[in-house]
Amino acid sequence: MPIPIDTFFLDPKFEGTLQQKIQRMISEGVLSGRFIPGAKLPSSRKLAVHLGISRITVTLAYSELVSDDYLIAKGRSGYYVSPTAPQRSRFETPKGVVTDCVDWNKAIGQRFSDQVMPEKPMDWRSYPYPFIYGQADDRIFDHSNWRQCALQALGKREFSTVTADSFERDDPELVKYIALNTLPRRGIHAKPEQILITMGAQNALWLCAHVLLNQRRMAAMENPGYPGLRVALNLARCTVASVPVDDCGMVLDALPAETDVVFTTPSHHCPTNVTMPLERRRALLELASRNDFIIVEDDYEFEMSFLNPPEPALKSLDEEGRVIYVGSFSKSLFPGLRLGYVVGSEVFIREARALRAAILRHPPGHLQRTAANFLSLGHYDALVARMGQIYRKRREIMQEAIARCGLESVGINVAGGSSFWIKTPEGVDARDLALALKDRGVLIEPGHVFFERPEDGARFFRIAYSSIESARISAGITLIAETLHSFGKR
Amino acid sequence: MPIPIDTFFLDPKFEGTLQQKIQRMISEGVLSGRFIPGAKLPSSRKLAVHLGISRITVTLAYSELVSDDYLIAKGRSGYYVSPTAPQRSRFETPKGVVTDCVDWNKAIGQRFSDQVMPEKPMDWRSYPYPFIYGQADDRIFDHSNWRQCALQALGKREFSTVTADSFERDDPELVKYIALNTLPRRGIHAKPEQILITMGAQNALWLCAHVLLNQRRMAAMENPGYPGLRVALNLARCTVASVPVDDCGMVLDALPAETDVVFTTPSHHCPTNVTMPLERRRALLELASRNDFIIVEDDYEFEMSFLNPPEPALKSLDEEGRVIYVGSFSKSLFPGLRLGYVVGSEVFIREARALRAAILRHPPGHLQRTAANFLSLGHYDALVARMGQIYRKRREIMQEAIARCGLESVGINVAGGSSFWIKTPEGVDARDLALALKDRGVLIEPGHVFFERPEDGARFFRIAYSSIESARISAGITLIAETLHSFGKR
């Protein structure tokens, strides 16, 4: 029984090649039961004419469908739906409409949705002036080599290694690369057993918080500080001490004596960008030794040190094994990758590994191997160098425009970074500013989300240059200044 | 200054093409500071002769290195290390050896490494008779189409979508496919807002446990049951009731009246494989309504129903919105993929999404898109059909060999599955059996890990046929029977 040719239409909404559209059309027809086993397909010539495409495309699609056993080829008589074609069983959904009879306010044992996290519009790319932080710039990223490395990781030879359930183990290639190449750049010496791969820095911080803290312990974090860390600490149910930050980073005198764990961002304080000088680092380590606390160093963005060589990590000065180091590839590769790592004492890493296994087993193997390939072929260092050059140029333009427009920049980083931290004039709330600017196509990040008490951050905002083209920066900063000015006149 | 040609050696241990080996050798030389900016490389002809490879390979590697700015080409005079080549800053590690001065027993706030999880040797592929559960069989998986779909997801057009930080959102393509195609196969109707993508089923169960439970609540799980669930429930600090299992699954009379959440595997009970019949499913739902508890249905492995069409999911019978459904692609695609999903009431999904964001943000975008492509092109259904055919054959051989050798199989699944649950004769501990068999090249899984009290499971073991070739099965089962027999004689 031939299938009538006019039942064939290509789905214009489906993104894919023409050949894939044909495959999808036919496999869907088979799976949905429209095309029954034994039914005869139109000849490739007829279907090609009907769809207005080349015959070879149809032929290639048909061969693919044969290898997936949707179709069989019968000599010269053509293609038929395979008698053993994949099928989908379908069930009637219950006749009665599902009415939610559960009192979810009662059923939910713990709430998580009330945590404050920065809101970023998903459509930020459509804004002409996206001073948005932490997104990849597609124009800089090295797509073709990344794809190449991904392909290699999915090659037959590596496939079994990277697709297996590796229980709690990480990809040895990636761990080795981090140990031998990435960490020495930060002055850190670590054995593979002291390294754990995580699903990005957020996952790393959450793991640290859960292993080191409990309801009877106290954590200290910078205020302002990274909101994702505050969320992780709240989930660990510990007491959280908010420690102020000055031009040299965390103010040590403000650390409560009973602190068990200090979380800090010495290289680039989040969000003000200040770098903690060597003297304060040594003082922090001495204090840790005296008061017997652990330090978790979040060394995000260290690669973005294009102005001066980066300071060695706090962990490189640590002679007592008190520092746990958190690194990430999200800023330098791309944030959707979600790969980071933790370096610390073996005893600690063992517990963090067990906790990671309990919540997600391990980060996907083939992502780990793709990253390992990209790193070991030198593409990563090339990318970081290229980003540094571009960021340096953007930063110069930013700095010039900020000075020209009279914006008040606070907390300059000596090494580079990817953003500026700006203070509004008296009486201007950065949230109002952000709203007004959004209407003019400018995205900035109001600073309240970084503060323990959001009202303390009402007069701050962050503007990043990691996702905005150089050519747009000056006009964008001018718009910010104009809008700020109009607020003053109200 | 030319770099002496005899400093060039290809790393035989590095897995990659010849061209990649050259790129790596040179980029490493530059990054490590051995090749300094301005140094002249050997001509491609000379290097090719020196390494004994073709000149075009060297030329291609040189061009790649130029595009990464490791090298520059100077007209006819050849290739030089670029003056702006990527650099690595290195620091001296502290002179004093790091002595761990921290009392980690005190510093660690919570221990996780004492959880019992099944141990599987990483080198299981080297055993001739791997009756191991839950690993991908490379011989069945459709590598080439998966690679194709991964490449498409990494194409320029989709790249920005899949590499961005999508905060808490999931890939809309994958969610849509699950809603429109996967769930209807289980009789489930769900809107995208009722679906959350997770890092595999373990992550899904952990999220459910943490949202629904707390220290004052009680969860019920099957005994024997999935050890990963027991770990997740312990982390949620709730009371855990262990409920026995008979030939129809969880015994409802044994459910404590104060249970808040019931975790169950109705399609294929883990590990005995029994299927819960319709009558018991209805009774469970009625009880849930009467006692006002929530049910989490772990529907792992439903695709492996090659003997009979799968029963519709418990959730498809749920008219009150009490069932939360957990699905996974780990068994049908490959376990290293780590993609699963949860389906439930919007209020619940909102909390689970917020918790997921706090621990890892979101599953990597390009894995989600690769899976969506693979599913929507029909490759997934083709793979499941192919696996079904192979598993059916293996199962027949297993069944025949088990009967012939007089092993005692308990809890047969009517739909298929991928394993058998076997009871040892009186007095034989399956752990001893497993150890003895390992020496003979046979891997089995002792059953104690599935039990609340490991000693209750001393006489059980699981043998899976998902990773062993048909041709090896019979000899493997014979070895198991022989070894069991020798235990009886001791």
Q: Which contiguous run of DSSP H or E holds residue A31?
A: helix A18-31
Q: Which two tokens stand for residue A257?
A: 């004596």
Q: How many CB atoms lie within 10 A of CB A309?
A: 13
Of B202, B312, B319, the CB nearest to A91: B312
Enter the DSSP assignment of A221.
E
Q: Over the stretch B158-213, which tens digit does the pLDDT of each residue have? A: 777 777 776 678 999 999 999 988 888 888 989 999 999 999 999 999 999 999 99
Greatest Cα pair distance in chain B: 87
pLDDT at A218: 97
Least confident window among A481-485, B308-312, B320-324:
B308-312
Check pLDDT > 90 for residue B469: yes
pLDDT at A304: 80
Smallest CA–CA distance from A146 into chain B, residue: B154
Q: Over the stretch B200-230, which tens digit does the pLDDT of each residue have? A: 999 999 999 999 999 999 999 999 999 999 9
Paired strand residues for A149 = none
Calculate the alpha carbon distances from B456 to B79, B223, B259, B269 in Å.
Answer: 71, 10, 23, 17
Check pLDDT > 60 for residue B93: no
Work out how many CB contacts closer than 8 A connect A with B: 415
Paired strand residues for A74 = A78
Which of the two residues, B75 and B358, has the higher pLDDT score?
A: B358
Pairing mode, strands A249-250 and A442-443: unpaired
Pairing mode, strands B445-446 and B460-464: antiparallel
Smallest CA–CA distance from A312 into chain B, residue: B91
Spatial CA neighbour of A262 closest among A234, A310, A229: A229
pLDDT at B200: 92
| Chain B closest-CA separation from residue A130 CA (Å) | 14
At B394, phi and psi to the nearest 5? -60, -40
- Long-range Cβ contact pairs of A468-475 (< 8 A, separation 24 or more): A468/A129, A468/A130, A468/A131, A468/A132, A468/A394, A469/A139, A470/A390, A470/A393, A470/A394, A470/A397, A472/A128, A472/A129, A473/A394, A473/A397, A473/A398, A473/A401, A474/A397, A474/A400, A474/A401, A475/A129
Task: Identify the residue among B104, B124, B139, B205 best suited for mutation to test binding to A, counting A beta carbons within 10 A and taking the highest.
Answer: B104
Q: Do A110 and B231 touch (CB under 8 A)?
A: no
Q: What residues have CB less than 8 Å from B377, skipping those under 6 apart?
A: A16, A20, A23, A24, A27, B145, B149
Of B15, B98, B117, the CB nearest to A321: B98
Pairing mode, strands B442-443 and B129-130: parallel
Spatial CA neighbour of B185 closest among B280, B325, B347: B325
In DSSP notation, A260-278 reads SEEEE--SS-TTT-PPPPH
Task: Give contacts of B134 with chain A, Cβ < 8 Å.
Answer: 165
pLDDT classification of B11: cutoffs 50, 70, 90: confident
What's at B39, amino acid-wise? A
Q: Give chain B's mean pLDDT.
A: 89
pLDDT classification of B400: cutoffs 50, 70, 90: very high
Q: Do B320 and A99 touch (CB under 8 A)?
A: yes
Which of the two residues, A332 and B403, has the higher pLDDT score?
A: B403
pLDDT at B117: 67
Enter the DSSP assignment of A179.
I
Enter the DSSP assignment of A288.
H
At A10, phi and psi to the nearest 5? -85, 140
Task: Give contacts of A24 with chain B, Cβ < 8 Å.
Answer: 376-378
Spatial CA neighbour of B302 closest among B183, B176, B175, B468: B183
pLDDT at B305: 79
pLDDT at B92: 55
| A27 in Cβ contact with A21 (< 8 Å) | no
Q: Rounded to an integer, what distance in angstroms lies between the CA atom of residue A267 and that of residue B350?
A: 35
Residue position matching structure tokens 């249970």: B259
- For the CA atoms of B352, B355, B359, B364, the dihedral, rounded to the nearest 10 degrees, stands at 40
Spatial CA neighbour of A418 closest among A471, A469, A474, A466: A466
Per-residue pLDDT of chain A (490 residues; tens, 9 = 90+): 788 887 788 877 767 788 988 998 898 888 888 888 899 999 999 999 988 899 999 999 999 999 889 999 998 889 999 988 888 765 555 545 678 889 988 889 888 888 766 677 878 889 999 999 988 777 888 888 998 899 888 887 777 777 777 667 899 999 999 998 888 888 898 999 999 999 999 999 999 999 999 999 999 999 999 999 999 999 999 999 999 999 999 999 999 999 999 999 999 899 999 999 999 999 999 999 999 999 999 998 877 878 877 778 999 999 999 999 999 987 778 878 889 999 999 999 999 999 999 999 999 988 999 999 999 888 988 988 889 899 999 999 999 999 999 999 997 777 788 999 999 999 999 999 999 999 999 999 999 999 999 999 999 999 999 999 999 999 999 999 999 999 877 6
Instruction: Delineate the domains of chain B, giving CATH numbers in brackets.
Output: 5-81 (1.10.10.10), 124-137+382-489 (3.90.1150.10), 143-377 (3.40.640.10)
pLDDT at A356: 94
Spatial CA neighbour of A423 closest among A404, A412, A407: A407
| Chain A closest-CA separation from residue B290 CA (Å) | 11
Task: Give contacts of B235 with chain A, Cβ < 8 Å.
Answer: 355, 358-359
pLDDT at A141: 85
Q: Rounded to an integer, what distance in angstroms lies between the CA atom of residue B352 and that of residue A374?
A: 33
Collapsing DSSP states into helix, strand and coil, what is residue A243?
A: strand
Q: Which two tokens stand for residue B171?
A: 């890939």
pLDDT at A91: 59
ipTM, 2 dp: 0.87
Task: Identify the residue among B14, B30, B113, B158 best suited for mutation to test binding to A, counting A beta carbons within 10 A and taking the highest.
Answer: B113
| A393 in Cβ contact with A469 (< 8 Å) | no
| Chain A closest-CA separation from residue B233 CA (Å) | 10
Quote the percentage of chain B above a pLDDT of 90. 59
At A464, phi and psi to the nearest 5? -105, 155
Task: Give contacts of B110 with chain A, Cβ < 8 Å.
Answer: 210-211, 213-214, 351
Q: Rounded to an integer, what distance in angstroms lies between the CA atom of residue B480 and that of residue A46?
A: 58
pLDDT at B159: 74
Task: Give contacts of A281 with chain B, Cβ < 8 Å.
Answer: none
Task: Give contacts of B390 with chain A, Cβ < 8 Å.
Answer: none
